[in-house]
Amino acid sequence: MKVILINRKHGGSRSIELGRWSLALLSLCCLGLPLGLVAGGYLLGQEDEASSMRGLALEGLQKEIDQQQEELAQLQSRAESKLQAMTLSLAQLQARMTRLDALGQHLTAMADLEDGEFDFSQPPAVGGPLAGDFNVEYDSGGLAAELGLFQEQVADREQQLDILETLLTNRRLDEQSWLSGRPIEKGWISSHYGKRTDPFTGKPAFHHGIDFAGKEGSNVIAVASGVVTWIGSKSGYGEMVEVSHGDGFVTRYSHNKKALVKPGDVVRKGQAIALMGSTGRSTGAHVHYEVYKHGRSVDPSSYVRRTRR
């Protein structure tokens, strides 16, 4: 192959004869150089892209690790807060249980109940077969289960106290409605129930009550709880207060100086209902006390001698 080189300035020319190997070398240079550049650029581009991808992957992984660490810290914080709250709840339940046990023992002693019926010094009797694996490790779930069990024990104590309160309330109601004692705070029996000599006529007469003499103006008290059914002046009785106690029992308090209650009032056992006087058919300050059972007059002596239940 012949290559002619022309000089534009001088107008001359020069020819060069290329052999087979020279031509091959020239062709290789002309074709190989662009291909090498293209290949080199491609490889550099691939390497930059791979490097960029690796950078993005590492950055994403780091972000994921940071997020997981943040979530782990939040979980740990919530777990610690929950554990603190559960510990506080346990302490409160323990204090509550202590107060309930002390109150229960005091009420049991006051109620004079049988030994063992309400024993607040011992844990409640429970039992049952062992189920599952008994090697339990106490984690937050185990602590929650223990708190639940403790709450059940507290509920058991409260149930016992509710029953005990009901028993005491019923007992107090029975005691309040139980006719017993004298209708005065201070004084003495001046006339008994039954046949006697009438103080005004001197003739034999039947006395339907018991007379309690005392100081004028001293308190006349109810011998049991009840409802005031009548107040006023009655022939022979003077100023009288009548109280109904239920179960057919009615008591009367006569010759009063002044009534301290009015009809419809609910009175308690031992409550002052009148002031002792000498109104009506009376020779001096006293209270004429009568007891009626189902409409019939009965001897108050047995009720006066009664003691509280």
Q: Where does the pLDDT of residue 62 fall: very low under 50, low under 70, confident under 90, or very high at 90 and above?
A: confident
Backbone angles phi, psi at 287, to 5 degrees: -120, 130
Q: Give the C-alpha separation, 1 to 257, whole Å.
A: 162
CB 215 within 8 A of CB 259: no
Residues 246 and 272 in one domain: yes
Residues 234 and 300 in one domain: yes
Residues 218 and 266 in one domain: yes
Residues 202 and 272 in one domain: yes
The residue assigned the tokens 């506080």 is 88
Residues 103 and 60 in one domain: no
Which of residues 35, 53, 74 is at a domain's end? 74
Residues 161 and 205 in one domain: no
Look at residue 202 and tell me whether its pLDDT is greater than 80.
yes
Residues 193 and 292 in one domain: yes
Q: Give the C-alpha separation, 107 to 99, whole Å.
A: 12
The reply to whether 309 falls in a domain is no
pLDDT of residue 74: 82
The reply to whether 8 falls in a domain is yes
Residues 167 and 196 in one domain: no
Enter the pTM of the model: 0.50
Closest CA to 280 of 221, 225, 209: 209
Residues 200 and 262 in one domain: yes
- 67 vs 237, higher pLDDT: 237
Which of residues 177, 206, 237 is at a domain's end? 177
The reply to whether 173 falls in a domain is yes
**Residue span of the structural domain in which 67 resides:** 2-74
The reply to whether 131 falls in a domain is no
Residues 94 and 194 in one domain: no
Residues 207 and 99 in one domain: no
- Please give the biggest Cα pair distance in the chain: 189
pLDDT digits (tens, 9 = 90+) for 132-191: 544 444 455 666 676 777 777 777 766 766 666 666 655 665 667 789 999 999 999 999
Cα–Cα distances (Å) from 114 to 109, 124, 304, in that order, read: 9, 17, 29
Look at residue 124 and tell me whether its pLDDT is greater than 60.
no
What is the mean pLDDT of the segment spanning 112-140?
Answer: 52
What is the mean pLDDT of the segment spanning 41-63?
Answer: 70
Q: Give the C-alpha separation, 7 to 9, whole Å.
A: 6
The reply to whether 133 falls in a domain is no
Total of domains in the chain = 3
- 91 vs 112, higher pLDDT: 91
Cα–Cα distances (Å) from 11 to 3, 7, 16, 17, in that order, read: 16, 5, 17, 20
The reply to whether 244 falls in a domain is yes
Instruction: Report DSSP state, residue 116.
Output: T
Residues 100 and 193 in one domain: no
The reply to whether 252 falls in a domain is yes
Closest CA to 199 of 290, 278, 289, 283: 283
The reply to whether 182 falls in a domain is no
CATH code where residue 227 lies: 2.70.70.10
